[in-house]
């Protein structure tokens, strides 16, 4: 009796076998792989201990029989039904230490799931790719680590420039004291030379500061571009590695938005933080030290106004961060709407839907603008309040400092120096306030970027077994499947098909019956919910997906070409192919004649998605592209009255 499995909760079943009764499944958290074997002879169930592939660690040994209880550490409940048995397994989400399994005869009433809410959570987890929890600071650190030396130089130049700027009020104070210490007659008799020393010192400081500022900005520019380059590369790499279900649920415009706008926002603020932020912090600290040196009571009085600033930065700042994150997500949606309309402009035009699209985009922009205006208002309010509180600090200094001069507890030069230092501190604090606002926005951008970088695909791009020789025998066994984005809609229900090597099979069925889905499962774009696909008797779930896709050529009904030359498009699957091999493939695909009739031949640029070619020409180039790959299995989707898709097992066969 074949084992039939139904997925009740969210356990992804990687493979089942009716012959030896193996049920092989992976938990959605990927914390553990469970491998069950139903021993048909004595109706007991035993679990095998070996990992099914090197990709998944933490494989847990469980053994159980048809009796009720085993050992447990329940956190997550999963429910599986095997023929004759209903299994309820429970295991922790993170590190699996123990597992709990129950088995009961199938004819009994199903055992209710132990923790329904947890099952719900895990279902959600399954639908969304796994995301590692890493702090933003650690992420940013890993991003800047390769440029640590550059970073050190930047810090040094920033601190040096700030330190020099801190000396300016001191020397200015000295200059004022020289001027105010004697009468103008005395100054005239001693000559202007008394002024020379502090004046020359001031000139030297200003020149050095200019040179350091130049060096600092140049270094920051190099550093910022390096960081942005790495971030873009990481983000793009993370995106292209995602499961196909990821692209089912995210609009291309939104993804492009993260690559461009979010990275640009992050880069801009990051550079600002490194230039302005470092300088401002150093100046604030330096000024504070200087201020204490000149007059402690005056500085303490000034600091009395500080709690207002603290409250502003913390409470108001948290609200601003929330508002900014919301704004970013709306911005992503608006970009998605525009991106979708622009990339499907032919359809939009054909349906005269320009105004409708404008309206959609207008609505998205309205929402974005409302949120941005609100954010702008609050950032303005935040900065205004910051300025007022800083202004109050200055006024306090003037008032109290003036009274100290009147009481001869402070010289005029010291008050001047104090005022200049306060001004430096004030400017630094103001720019820190502005930076804080920008940082809030950039943190929201960075969070969105790293959110994708940490997404783990369910099926990795590479890794697994390969075969030295492929014959092209394909078998779909007891396949059940529903798309992750629509788990309630069962597309394949116990689908079985055996396509022998060297044969051609046409799958005919009504629209939406699942023909393309079968092709997607063979290419491992998605994993079956139950059952297995075998190539030459080997379970696809154990195979290297990248290698597997090399063995398969799929020519879609509406092939998509890249906006480059015909040559590059044909070579896409095999970049090292020679010109002769490309021509041979084009000849086999009946594409050579029309390619050579173009003035630029193989160098003809085909436009976005091949828009500059006819449908038939696109198909033929796609066929040439598939032939050049020399796949062992070719699938072709063809529209006809009966809606058929051919699976051709190509061992030197002709398309």
Ligand X SMILES: Nc1ncnc2c1ncn2[C@@H]1O[C@H](COP(=O)(O)OP(=O)(O)OP(=O)(O)O)[C@@H](O)[C@H]1O
Binding site for ligand X (CB under 6 A): 248, 483, 485-486, 491, 509, 511-517, 643
Cβ nearer to ligand X, comparing 248 with 354: 248
Taking the complex as a whole, how short is the minimal distance between the CB of residue 646 and ligand X, in angstroms? Answer: 13
Cβ nearer to ligand X, comparing 182 with 512: 512
Cβ nearer to ligand X, comparing 106 with 483: 483
Report yes or no: 271 and 151 within 8 Å, Cβ to Cβ.
no
Cβ nearer to ligand X, comparing 367 with 493: 493
Taking the complex as a whole, how short is the minimal distance between the CB of residue 601 and ligand X, in angstroms? Answer: 34
Phi-psi category of residue 575: left, alpha or beta, with phi > 0 → left and psi -120 to 50 → alpha: alpha
Cβ nearer to ligand X, comparing 409 with 558: 558
Here the tokens at position 629 are 């790959």
Report yes or no: 424 and 287 within 8 Å, Cβ to Cβ.
yes
> What Cα–Cα distance (Å) separates residue 489 from each residue in 81, 249, 271?
19, 16, 48
Taking the complex as a whole, how short is the minimal distance between the CB of residue 533 and ligand X, in angstroms? Answer: 15
Cβ nearer to ligand X, comparing 171 with 645: 645
Taking the complex as a whole, how short is the minimal distance between the CB of residue 552 and ligand X, in angstroms? Answer: 16
Give the span between the Cα atoms of 260 and 262, in whole angstroms. 6
Give the span between the Cα atoms of 106 and 86, in whole angstroms. 5
The Cβ of residue 179 has, within 10 Å, a number of other Cβ atoms equal to: 15
> What Cα–Cα distance (Å) separates residue 257 from each residue in 6, 234, 341, 402?
40, 15, 14, 55
Nearest Cα to Cα of residue 389 among 418, 432, 420, 421: 432
Taking the complex as a whole, how short is the minimal distance between the CB of residue 473 and ligand X, in angstroms? Answer: 23
Could you give the residue ranges of the DSSP H alpha helices within 107-243?
116-127, 136-144, 148-181, 184-190, 193-240
Residue 605 carries which DSSP code? B
Give the span between the Cα atoms of 296 and 305, in whole angstroms. 15
- SS in 3 state form for 517-573? HHHHHHCCCCCCCEEEEEECCEEHHHECHHHHHHCEEEECCCCCCCCCEHHHHHHHH
Cβ nearer to ligand X, comparing 248 with 366: 248
Cβ nearer to ligand X, comparing 290 with 637: 637
Instruction: Assign 627 to helix, strand or coil.
Output: helix
Taking the complex as a whole, how short is the minimal distance between the CB of residue 557 and ligand X, in angstroms? Answer: 7
Taking the complex as a whole, how short is the minimal distance between the CB of residue 5 and ligand X, in angstroms? Answer: 20
Here the tokens at position 627 are 């032939």
DSSP track, 410-470: S-HHHHHHHHHHHHHHHHHHHHHHHHHHHHHHHHHHHHHHHHHHTEE-SS-SS-SB--SS-
Cβ nearer to ligand X, comparing 7 with 60: 7
Cβ nearer to ligand X, comparing 19 with 641: 641
Report the interhelical angle of 148-181 vs 193-240 (nearest 10°). Answer: 160
Taking the complex as a whole, how short is the minimal distance between the CB of residue 349 and ligand X, in angstroms? Answer: 24
Taking the complex as a whole, how short is the minimal distance between the CB of residue 504 and ligand X, in angstroms? Answer: 18
Cβ nearer to ligand X, comparing 37 with 638: 638
Cβ nearer to ligand X, comparing 118 with 520: 520
Give the span between the Cα atoms of 28 and 124, in whole angstroms. 9
Taking the complex as a whole, how short is the minimal distance between the CB of residue 527 and ligand X, in angstroms? Answer: 14
Q: How far is CA 93 from the centre of its chain?
A: 23
Handedness of CA 535, 540, 543, 547 (dihedral sign): positive
Q: What are phi and psi of 276, to 5 degrees?
A: -70, -40
Residue linked to tokens 């550093």: 223
Residue linked to tokens 């000024």: 287
Taking the complex as a whole, how short is the minimal distance between the CB of residue 517 and ligand X, in angstroms? Answer: 3
Taking the complex as a whole, how short is the minimal distance between the CB of residue 123 and ligand X, in angstroms? Answer: 16
Taking the complex as a whole, how short is the minimal distance between the CB of residue 554 and ligand X, in angstroms? Answer: 12
Taking the complex as a whole, how short is the minimal distance between the CB of residue 477 and ligand X, in angstroms? Answer: 18
Here the tokens at position 97 are 């230490």
645: Cβ–Cβ under 8 A, 6 or more apart, which residues? 506, 507, 515, 516, 518, 519, 635, 636, 637, 638
- 623-647 burial, b for 16+ CB within 10 Å, e for fewer? bbbbbbbbbbbbbbbeeeeebbbbb
Cβ nearer to ligand X, comparing 248 with 359: 248
Side-chain-side CA neighbours of 84 within 13 Å: the count stands at: 17
Cβ nearer to ligand X, comparing 155 with 244: 244
Taking the complex as a whole, how short is the minimal distance between the CB of residue 227 and ligand X, in angstroms? Answer: 35
Report yes or no: 95 and 58 within 8 Å, Cβ to Cβ.
yes
Report the interhelical angle of 317-343 vs 354-406 (nearest 10°). Answer: 150
Residue 259 carries which DSSP code? I
Taking the complex as a whole, how short is the minimal distance between the CB of residue 520 and ligand X, in angstroms? Answer: 7
Cβ nearer to ligand X, comparing 90 with 516: 516
Cβ nearer to ligand X, comparing 143 with 519: 519
């Amino acid at each position: 009796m074949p084992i039939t499995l139904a997925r009740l909760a969210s356990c992804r079943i990687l493979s089942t076998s009716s012959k030896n009764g193996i049920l092989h499944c992976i938990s959605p958290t990927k914390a553990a792989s469970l491998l069950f074997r139903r021993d048909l002879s004595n109706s007991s169930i035993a679990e095998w201990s070996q990992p099914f592939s090197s990709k998944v660690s933490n494989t847990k040994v469980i053994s159980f029989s048809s009796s009720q209880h085993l050992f447990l550490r329940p956190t997550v409940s999963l429910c599986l039904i095997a023929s004759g048995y209903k299994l309820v397994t429970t295991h922790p989400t993170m590190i699996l230490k123990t597992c709990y399994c129950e088995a009961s005869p199938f004819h009994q009433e199903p055992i209710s799931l132990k923790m329904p809410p947890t099952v719900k959570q895990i279902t959600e987890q399954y639908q969304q790719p796994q995301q590692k929890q890493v702090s933003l600071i650690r992420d940013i650190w890993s991003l800047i680590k390769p440029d640590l030396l550059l970073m050190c130089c930047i810090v040094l130049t920033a601190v040096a420039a700030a330190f020099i700027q801190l000396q300016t009020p001191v020397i200015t104070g000295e200059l004022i004291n020289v001027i105010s210490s004697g009468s103008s007659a005395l100054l005239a008799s001693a000559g202007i030379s008394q002024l020379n020393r502090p004046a020359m010192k001031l000139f030297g400081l200003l020149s050095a500061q200019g040179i350091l500022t130049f060096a600092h900005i140049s270094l920051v520019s190099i550093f910022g571009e390096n960081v942005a380059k790495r971030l873009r590369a990481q983000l793009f790499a993370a995106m292209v590695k995602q499961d196909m279900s990821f692209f089912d649920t995210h609009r291309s415009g939104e993804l492009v938005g993260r690559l461009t706008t979010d990275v640009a926002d992050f880069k801009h603020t990051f550079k600002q933080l490194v230039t302005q932020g470092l300088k401002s912090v150093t100046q604030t600290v330096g000024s504070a030290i200087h201020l204490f040196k000149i007059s402690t009571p005056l500085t303490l009085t000034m600091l009395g106004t500080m709690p207002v600033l603290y409250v502003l930065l913390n409470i108001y700042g948290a609200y601003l961060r929330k508002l900014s994150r919301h704004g970013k997500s709306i911005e992503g949606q608006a970009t998605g709407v525009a991106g979708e309309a622009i990339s499907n402009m032919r359809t939009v035009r054909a349906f005269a839907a320009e105004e409708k699209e404008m309206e959609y985009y207008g609505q998205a922009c309205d929402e974005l603008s409302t949120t941005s205006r609100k954010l702008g208002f609050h950032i303005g309010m935040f900065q205004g309040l910051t300025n007022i509180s800083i202004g109050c600090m200055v006024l306090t200094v003037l008032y109290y400092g003036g009274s100290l001069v009147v009481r001869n507890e402070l010289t005029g030069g010291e008050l001047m120096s104090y005022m200049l230092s306060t001004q430096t501190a004030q400017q630094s604090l103001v720019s820190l306030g502005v930076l804080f606002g920008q940082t809030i926005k950039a943190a929201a951008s960075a969070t969105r970027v790293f959110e994708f970088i940490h997404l783990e695909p369910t099926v990795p791009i590479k890794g697994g077994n390969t075969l030295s020789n492929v014959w092209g025998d394909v078998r779909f066994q007891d396949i059940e499947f529903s798309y992750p984005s629509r788990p309630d809609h069962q597309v394949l229900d116990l689908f079985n098909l055996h396509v022998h090597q060297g044969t051609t099979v046409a799958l005919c069925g009504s629209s939406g019956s699942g023909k393309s889905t079968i092709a997607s499962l063979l290419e491992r774009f998605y994993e079956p919910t139950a059952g297995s696909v075998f190539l030459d008797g080997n379970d696809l779930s154990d195979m290297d997906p990248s290698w597997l896709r090399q063995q398969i050529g799929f020519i879609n009904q509406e092939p998509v070409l890249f906006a480059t030359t015909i040559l590059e498009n044909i070579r896409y699957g095999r970049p090292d192919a020679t010109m002769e091999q490309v021509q041979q493939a084009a000849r086999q695909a009946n594409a050579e004649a029309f390619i050579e009739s173009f003035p630029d031949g193989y160098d003809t640029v085909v436009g976005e998605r091949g828009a500059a070619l006819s449908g038939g020409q696109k198909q033929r180039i796609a066929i040439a592209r598939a032939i050049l790959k020399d796949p062992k299995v070719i699938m072709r989707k063809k529209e006809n009255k009966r809606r058929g898709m051919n699976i051709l097992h190509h061992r030197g066969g002709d398309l």
